[in-house]
Structure 1
Amino acid sequence: MIVCVCNALRESDVRKAAREGASCPTSAYARCGRRARCGQCFSFARQIIAAERVSA
């Protein structure tokens, strides 16, 4: 599933970044070599990151 249309980031990309230590959308996107643009995806990205941190 696409999380960020602006950067074409998939849910799996954000999950992987979270497992590697990203704690927020900005740091997750940076781990993928991208940066936030419009911010519409932040709430969904935060949910994904939180879920990964709980399951870790």
Structure 2
Amino acid sequence: MIVCVCNRLTETDVRTAARAGAATPEAAYARLDCEPQCGCCLDYAQEIIDEERAKRPHLRVVAA
């Protein structure tokens, strides 16, 4: 599923960034070499990140 149309990011992209330690959409996007554009995707991206972090509470937080 597409999370961010502006940057063409998929749910898998955001989940992978979360698993690598991104705790916010901004940090996830930075890991993916982009940044939020219009902002419409940020709530959904955060939900995905929160889901991944709940599965793996030991994930290290990486700042944006």
Compute the TM-score of the two structures, normalised by the length of structure 2. Answer: 0.86
Instruction: Supply the distance in 2 between the matched residues of 1:35 and 1:26 (Cα, whole angstroms).
Output: 6
* Alignment length (residue pairs): 56
Give 1:13 shift: 0.3
Partner of 1:44: 44
Compute the TM-score of the two structures, normalised by the length of structure 1. Answer: 0.98
SS at match of 1:50: helix
**Percent of pairs with identical residues:** 54
Letter in 2 for 1:28: A
Displacement over 3 Å in runs of 4+? none
Larger radius of gyration: 2
Instruction: Supply the distance in 2 between the matched residues of 1:34 and 1:11 (Cα, whole angstroms).
Output: 15
SS at match of 2:34: coil
Give the alignment of 1:1-56 within 5 angstroms.
Answer: 1-56=1-56
